[in-house]
Amino acid sequence: MSIPAQSSGTPDTELDDPEDRLRRFATIWSRAIFPSTATSLTRAEFEQHLLPLARGLSDILHARPFDAAPAAEVGAALVAAHCTDPDALSSTLGVVDSYLVLYCGSNGVTPLPTEDSRARCARIQHALASGFTRALRERTLSEQEAIARSALTARSDAERALHATEARFRAVFKDAAIGIADLDGNVLEVNDTLTRMFGGLEHHVRSHKVNEWVHPEDSPYVWKYYEELVRGEREHYRVEKPYYRNDGTVLWTNLTVSLLRDAEGKPQYQLALMEDTTERRLLNLRLRYEATHDALTGLPNRTLFFERLEKALAADDSSRFGLCYLDLDGFKAINDSLGHASGDRLLVEVADRLQSCATAPGEMVARLGGDEFVALTTGPDTETEVAELACRILGVLGTPVRLDGRELTVRGSIGVVEGPAGERNAAEVLRSADITMYRAKSAGGNRFELADDEADARAITRHGLTTALPAALERGEFFIEYQPLVHLDDGTVHGAEALVRWCHPQHGVLGPDRFIPLAEHTGLIVPLGRWVLEESVRQANFWQERHTDGGPLRINVNLSPTQLHHPRLVAETVDVLERSGLEPGALCLEVTESALIGADEDLLKPLRQLAEMGVDIALDDFGTGYSNLANLRRLPVSVLKLDRSFTLGMQQHPADPVDLKIVEGIVSLAHSLDLAVTVEGVETGAQAEQLRKLGCDTAQGWYYARPGAPDRIHSLLLADAV
Ligand code: C2E
Ligand code: MG
Ligand code: MG
């Protein structure tokens, strides 16, 4: 207990006024206990607050009869003023003991005897202390009660909140499977849903550590994330992960793993939340299967094939690919004659057979649609493998298919493309294969052809040329060059062959080999051929009018097979001749040998009519079509044009004796049938001399003149004259 200053037994002599003395007592009291109060009052305010209490003590000291009990209220008042510290009580008792009688013993009315006042002071202290203690206990009790009450309220509040959270938690994770494991992977807790998900045996789930659930289809990241999480470098991860159930079947999950830390933030547990995605995945797989497979044959379809091809083409530099593009020959005829149901069964059979050809790893067969199939092979050795694959395919197609009690022979044409990965894209490869397949088809089918860039480029322009042909004729993009035909015995010009050209706006001048087959294919050859006939007959007529000397110049015009079949061939030719005024004997129509092989009377009739009118018919390219010489007798032809291949044999020195014998034989046979013989492709004087000796009548070739503009015939005639 500390008693503040002024501990002398004498109060200040100047303080005669009892009120001043009382205030002085309050000051001393307040100085003694202020440091140990918990009041929010200032020191001066606190002193003011003690003043009535001091007055109360003074009154008790002087009261008659003396009763110390009211001092208890002063004690209680101290507690009420937050002077609850035990030091506050002892300091108060000390102040009362030392100063109450000293400053308040004489209140100016009835001075107390000293003994009496000391006794009274002691009792006042006692009452004050008990009042203080009681008040303090009551206050503590009520405080505790308030704490307890609020604790109670708080707990139920918290419980209510917790309950709500839990309900929400349960609602959110009702069907979720949850498991907790330590950082070594030991499974500590799993809920029922998780156990059910894994097949129903809790032991099965708990007997493995988390990091033992490895599956071959795990994503490459899953174990990396796992390691990071257990090291505390990652708070959570989410992956799609497969597991084995206890019966060995596969469970697919959406797995979310979170790291749980302790109060200090140290990694402690891992919490796994799993969602069973097996069904959804199966559905997705099924949808994907349907989207990537052909419904009829079950083979991969165009979509899947493109995916694989793109993958093969994107592979690293050492790998190659080989592609067989198959189109069945004559499938449309089978479909039309036997019906679509039979056609479908045939396709299924073909698909099965194809599948049996491509069973090695890296090989696949797909149906692109209709009767088009592809077989793909990948790896380092596709150069040899792809041809073998194509042979195998043609081989399996070779066995007849039994359909509705008949045996059908299925054949196909295959375009083969092979090459290193990384050079072309899938569309380019497929286009090349398609073009090559058409080449195989037009070469007769039932075969495979290898793609070659030049052929591809030609085919690509072929398509463009075909579509541009009709407009080209209207725009007058065609023109004719004339190549002289020369008498071998005297070198005079006998006539000229009209050879058509196309002055294409982009590709420049194109030879007939580039567009005549296209014009034949589309039927445009009929109007084009009519134009060539008109134009060259007009030209021949012009020559005849200008150059009457040296005999009439003749004109040779080529006829394509399609023109031969045209019903108005005779009528139109007659019309053209009549309008130009050229006599029929000045016109020679050249028909290629192959068009007349096996021709029946119907086909020969128009030619016979023209021949009877005096028009010459020449059998062009003779020697390339294996025509039976004995047959020549029944054809309405008057000229044989020996193909350039015969003259080629005469280019070497000495000339091939066999060729010479053949030509000699043909010439004598032709002459015995009253046919004139013209030779094509004479390029040297030596050839010309040989052919003359062999008895050929006329010749044509670069030795005399290349095909050229019509006026060049004049200079040739002039040269002859010289
Ligand atoms: P063809 O009737 O056999 O024509 C002869 C071809 O041989 C011409 O080729 C000619 O330029 C070429 N030739 C001539 N002399 C020589 C020579 O000494 N050496 C070599 N290497 N070649 C020579 P071109 O003009 O390319 O005509 C090719 C084919 O196109 C013709 O063969 C003919 O079948 C067809 N053709 C040309 N014009 C027409 C036409 O107006 N209508 C039809 N339907 N076909 C035509
Ligand atoms: Mg010709
Ligand atoms: Mg020819």
CATH of the domain at 278: 3.30.450.20
Q: What radius of gyration, in Å, describes the C-alpha atoms of the chain? A: 60
Quote the number of domains for the chain.
Answer: 4
Of the candidates 610, 613, 482, 606, the one whose C-alpha atom is nearest the C-alpha of residue 554 is 482
The mean per-residue pLDDT over the stretch 536-553 comes to: 81
Give yes or no for residue 132 having a pLDDT over 50: yes
Least confident of 275-284, 406-415, 458-467, 574-583: 458-467
Does residue 627 carry a pLDDT above 70?
A: no
CB of 253 within 6 A of ligand 1: the answer is: no
Note whether 91 and 210 are same-domain residues: no
pLDDT at 699 over 70: yes
- Helix, strand, or coil here: 94? helix
CA distance 264 to 261: 8
Q: Is the CB of 560 under 6 A from ligand 1?
A: yes
In-domain check, residue 197:
yes
Give the pLDDT band of residue 151 (cuts 50, 70, 90).
low
Evaluate whether residue 11 is within a structural domain: no
Question: Contact, 415 vs 434, CB < 8 A?
Answer: yes
Give the range with max mean pLDDT: 328-337, 456-465, 667-676: 667-676
Q: How confident is the model at residue 5 (pLDDT cuts 50, 70, 90)?
A: very low
> What was the pLDDT predicted at 436?
92
CATH number of the domain at 403, please. 3.30.70.270
If one compares 627 and 445, the residue with the highest pLDDT of the two is: 445
Relative to the alpha carbon of 624, which ligand is closest?
Answer: 3
Q: Is the CB of 512 under 6 A from ligand 1?
A: yes
Name the band, by pLDDT with cuts 50, 70 and 90, for residue 611.
Answer: very high
From the CA of 600, how far away is ligand 3's center (Å)? Answer: 23
Asked if 344 and 213 sit in the same domain, the reply is: no
Are 429 and 524 in a shared domain? Answer: no
Residues 267 and 300 in one domain: no
Residue labelled with tokens 């209510």? 160
Same structural domain, 587 and 655: yes
Kindly give the distance from the C-alpha atom of residue 270 to the centroid of ligand 3, in angstroms, as a whole number: 88
Predicted confidence at residue 656, as pLDDT, reads 79
Percent of the chain with pLDDT over 90: 47
Does residue 208 form part of some domain? yes
Q: Is 600 a member of any domain?
A: yes
Asked whether residue 572 falls in the same domain as residue 619, the answer is: yes
> Same domain, yes or no, for 392 and 480?
no
> Measured in angstroms, how far is the CA atom of residue 592 from the centroid of ligand 2?
7
What number of residues does the chain have? 722
Give the whole-number percent of the chain exceeding pLDDT 70: 89
Q: Establish if 588 belongs to a structural domain.
A: yes
* Residue at a domain's end among 250, 282, 314: 282
pLDDT score, position 715: 67
Q: What is the pLDDT of residues 325-369, one digit of tens each?
A: 999 998 888 888 888 899 999 999 999 999 999 998 889 999 999
Same domain (yes/no): 134, 198: no
Q: How many CB atoms lie within 10 A of CB 32?
A: 23
pLDDT exceeds 50 at position 661: yes
What's the gap between Cα 479 and its chain centre? 50
Residue span of the structural domain in which 130 resides: 18-144
Does the CB atom of residue 620 touch ligand 1 within 6 A? yes
Q: What is the mean pLDDT of residues 611-618?
A: 96
Amino acid 693: pLDDT: 93
Tell me: pLDDT of 39 over 80: no
- Average pLDDT of the chain is 86
| Residue whose token pair is 């040329």 | 465
Give the CATH number for residue 514: 3.20.20.450
The answer to whether residue 203 is domain-embedded is: yes
106 and 247 belong to one structural domain: no
d(CA 22, CA 721): 167
Is there a domain that residue 520 lies in? yes
| Confidence band for 3, pLDDT divided at 50, 70 and 90 | very low
- The predicted model scores a pTM of 0.48
- Domain co-membership, 264 together with 411: no
The ligand with the least distance to the CA atom of 625 is: 3
For 176-224, the pLDDT digits (tens) are 678 888 999 999 888 888 899 999 888 889 999 999 999 999 998 999 9
Ligand 1 atom 12: the closest Cα is on which residue? 681
The answer to whether residue 566 is domain-embedded is yes
Question: Do both 526 and 581 map to the same domain?
Answer: yes
What pLDDT is attached to residue 202?
A: 87
Tell me: do 525 and 633 sit in the same domain. Answer: yes
Domain boundary among 144, 168, 186: 144
For 63-77, what is the mean pLDDT?
Answer: 90
End-to-end CA distance of the chain: 160
